[in-house]
Each structure stands twice: as C-alpha cells, then as structure tokens.
Amino acid sequence: EDQVTQSPEALRLQEGESSSLNCSYTVSGLRGLFWYRQDPGKGPEFLFTLYSAGEEKEKERLKATLTKKESFLHITAPKPEDSATYLCAVQPPGQNFVFGPGTRLSVLP
C-alpha cells in the first residue's frame, strides 16, 4: 500500500533557527509531489510542485527538494508568521493524490 509519512510530527523553533521538514513516500513511481501550508481554520495553501528527483524550488524562506524516496522542506531563518502545519501530497501513477499527516511548526519570537 502506498504510504506518505512526514517527520517530525511537531517542531518548535526559535525565530531565526533554520531547520528541515521531511516527507517520505513509498509509492511505486511518482507523477508529482506537492507541498502545502495550512493555517488553523483554513484550507491548505499551495506552496510547491516537484516532478523529478534533483528538482528544487524556492520561495522566500522556503526551499523544497526532491529525491527518489523523499522530499525536504528547508526553512531558513524562520519568522513567527511561518508557524503552520506543512502538508505534503504525492500522486502515484494512475492514482489520485495521497496526503501525509503534516508537520506542525511553531516559530517562537
């Protein structure tokens, strides 16, 4: 069965303390991997799409990378407004999107 896991489950950082979130998948092949941010009481907000191993995307303090079996979301010098749940989703060939459980990030001032 295809699985998507995310680690850590929760992460607390001090403002300015860089770190990385992990998304691992065991799907057979990959059509795309997506990162979303979700604030409490809101729907997920699209961040990045990665299609092939070695691909990288950047947006402000966030950088997403992709290998054959996992993706990392690197957060450089985070600010309190980066606090949210970060979700990854994969789309295996011929199947629909599968979301991971998310990582709850808290950035303390």
Residues that bind other proteins (CB under 8 A): 4, 31-32, 34, 36, 41-46, 49, 87, 89, 91, 96-102
Nearer to other proteins among residue 34 and residue 65 (C-beta): 34
* Residue from 53, 47, 48, 45 nearest 25 by CA: 53
Nearer to other proteins among residue 65 and residue 91 (C-beta): 91
Pairwise CA distance, residues 46 & 34, whole Å:
8
Pairwise CA distance, residues 81 & 93, whole Å:
35
Nearer to other proteins among residue 43 and residue 54 (C-beta): 43
Nearer to other proteins among residue 46 and residue 54 (C-beta): 46
* Least distance from other proteins to the Cβ atom of residue 21, Å: 14
Reduce the DSSP state of residue 88 to 3 states and report it: strand
* Least distance from other proteins to the Cβ atom of residue 83, Å: 16
Q: How many CB atoms lie within 10 A of CB 67?
A: 12
